[in-house]
Structure 1
Amino acid sequence: MRVDSHQHLWPEPLVAALSRRREPPLIRRDDRGWLLRLRGEPDCAVDLADHDPERRGQWVEADALDRALIAISSPLGIEALPADEAAPLLAAYHDGVAALDERFGAWGAAGLAESDPRQVDALLARGFVGLSIPAGAIATPAGLDRCGALLERLERANAPLLVHPGPAPWSPAPDAEDGLPDWWPAMSGYVAQMNSAWHAFVATGRADHPRLRVLFAMLAGGGPLHAERLAARGGPGLKVDDDLFVDSSSYGVQMIDHAVRVLGVDQLVYGSDRPVLGSLDCPLGEAVRQAMLVTNPSRLLQPKEVLA
């Protein structure tokens, strides 16, 4: 099965819920079309046609995929909202993506202000492949501790974790400065969050969750490529970890090639980040493409056993 492990789709119930909000995250329609308003980011235009399930299903087929895995758009900050605000938005997301056809699977999401590990059980029982967590939530060892009950429940269920850029209640998005270009958050805060989450997991996460399978979006913000600097600064050397994966979202052949050289091809998974970005035509050869699209996603997603 050829899998894209990282896409986003806002189902109609979520769009409706976001349009009813008076504080970010919200969407509004004006004479320019639909605008997305987030804390800490410039307003940006969104094309809701890109979130039409039938159109997206056609993209799945055009990209010669068998399945695309949908994740909540964590930069929206839904998981970081107070519990009473997060709950209806999470329900809208989960109900909407659960109704998609067989061309799609989905990652579940959990509110973090009052996290309950039973959320994990309920999501897995509904068929979600695992849990997505904002990188800001686990960007330090203390953040990993705060999310420890969720991660432990995932580990016991032998289900994977997706780490994606986004804020947490204890790590809010910074206020946006005037005059910054639209791409600024993606090249500053998002990268820093992913890099920090990678190194937090290296520092304490793996020891605390030795059997948890983890997928870091966007090559973990380049975190693995800093292995030499980490060792030079007294950190642990890079070890082979069969259960630690990175996806290719936002990157092309040069960075993917570097990641293969550092981590090995067995830890690389294809993620397009559609509709933010288009599909990637990987020019590294058919063997790498097969590993990214078929072999490695299977290792990430397929449970071997459930812990007692």
Structure 2
Amino acid sequence: MTSVDVHQHLWTPSLVAALRARREPPFLDGWTLRLHGEPPFEVPPGDHDIAGRAELAAADGLGRVLVSLSSPIGVEWLPAAEARPLLDAYHEGSAALPEPFGAWAAACVRDVDANAAAKDLDRGFAGLQLPANALADAAGYARCAPLLDLLEERGLPLFVHPGPAPAESAGPGWWPAMVPYVQQMHAAWFAFRAFGRPRHPGLRVCFALLAGLAPLHGERFAARGGGAEADVDPGVFVETSSYGPHAVDATVRALGAEAVVQGSDRPYAQPPLNPGFGLGGAAAYAFRVANPQRLLTGR
């Protein structure tokens, strides 16, 4: 069976060209990314060299790497007329990536169009990524319901990734990753339990960055009447990007090893040197092989 990393980012030439064609955020000025809610970011071109990234994947022992649109850029939140050229460029480039790459599809969440998402998924994408701030409450789940219905009908998973940081967010360069992104994932985790799972009983879902460590709040959840602390959903997974042995160990204690899959967020973070995070070879196999297989196929 194949070792999988479910969370990387790789900007193809078509996406780069589409971002450079814009004059309002989000856009690329050369290799400087300009967004609404974050300071300008200098993108190292080598991070998105396709051949180089394939070599890194091979060195990591990965047989499959799933790339996704960088949701903090904010493409999914643009009006459909602005989002569609960028989404088309992303899907075109990602669908043409060589082995070992696969990809998550993306969709506009401001103007939801399930028919457009269906056509994108027809190209062989692993599932659909949506920004966490689109799935943070009941209204978000109502708005995105046609997209989630589509995934359920096709037996494909949902990947929840941090969305754009608020425009008023301020602080040092690490602030968006440590505060808004984590807060979004925390909210999305509990919103899925409250609003997503009741409406979508068959949907498999994976939360980026260990769901902002929301699973570690099980004791408080139980104390405040939310439900049993050990009430684990077998269709829910979390990926490990940017975290290490302490956080992964605690998450395994909260959810069990069957809920954890490897995600690295490369090039913004690196895959773990120890894929078992100090928990042994069986854990490494579960995180990289068995659990991603269940997430992606349901088997």
TM over 0.5: yes
Tell me the equivalent position of 1:101.
Answer: 98
Tell me the equivalent position of 2:213.
Answer: 222
Tell me the equivalent position of 1:197.
Answer: 188
The aligned amino acid for 1:259 is T
Within 2, Cα distance between the matches of 1:119 and 1:160?
Answer: 17
Deviation at 1:303, TM superposition (A): 4.6
Tell me the equivalent position of 2:257.
Answer: 265
Question: Partner of 1:278: helix, strand, or coil?
Answer: coil
For these two proteins, the number of residue pairs brought into alignment is 294
Within 2, Cα distance between the matches of 1:222 and 1:126?
Answer: 33
Deviation at 1:214, TM superposition (A): 0.1
- Compute the RMSD of aligned alpha carbons: 1.2
> Is 1:153 paired with 2:150?
yes
Where structure 2 has 5 or more consecutive residues not aligned to the other structure, the ranges are none
The aligned amino acid for 2:208 is A
Is 1:78–1:89's contact at 8 Å kept on the other side of the alignment?
yes
Deviation at 1:295, TM superposition (A): 0.2
| Equivalent residue for 2:137, pick from 130, 140, 146 | 140
Tell me the equivalent position of 1:118.
Answer: 115
Question: Partner of 1:5: helix, strand, or coil?
Answer: strand
Within 2, Cα distance between the matches of 1:123 and 1:265?
Answer: 32
Question: Partner of 2:249: helix, strand, or coil?
Answer: helix
The aligned amino acid for 1:288 is A
| Equivalent residue for 1:53, pick from 46, 50, 54 | 50
> Is 1:292 paired with 2:287?
yes
Question: Partner of 1:36: helix, strand, or coil?
Answer: strand
Within 2, Cα distance between the matches of 1:51 and 1:161?
Answer: 24
Tell me the equivalent position of 2:237.
Answer: 245
What pairs up with 1:165-204 in 2 under 5 angstroms?
A: 165-167=162-164, 173-177=166-170, 180-204=171-195
Where structure 1 has 5 or more consecutive residues not aligned to the other structure, the ranges are none
Is 1:44–1:182's contact at 8 Å kept on the other side of the alignment?
no
The percent identity for this pair of structures is 52
> Is 1:69 paired with 2:50?
no
Structure 1 residues 245-254 or 226-235, which shifts more? 226-235
Question: Partner of 1:119: helix, strand, or coil?
Answer: helix
Within 1, Cα distance between the matches of 2:129 and 2:234?
Answer: 19
The aligned amino acid for 1:277 is A
Tell me the equivalent position of 1:130.
Answer: 127
Is 2:240–2:248's contact at 8 Å kept on the other side of the alignment?
yes
Q: TM-score by structure 1 length? A: 0.93
Is 1:39–1:176's contact at 8 Å kept on the other side of the alignment?
no
Within 2, Cα distance between the matches of 1:176 and 1:296?
Answer: 35
Question: Partner of 1:50: helix, strand, or coil?
Answer: helix
Within 2, Cα distance between the matches of 1:268 and 1:219?
Answer: 8
Within 1, Cα distance between the matches of 2:298 and 2:10?
Answer: 25
Within 2, Cα distance between the matches of 1:128 and 1:206?
Answer: 23
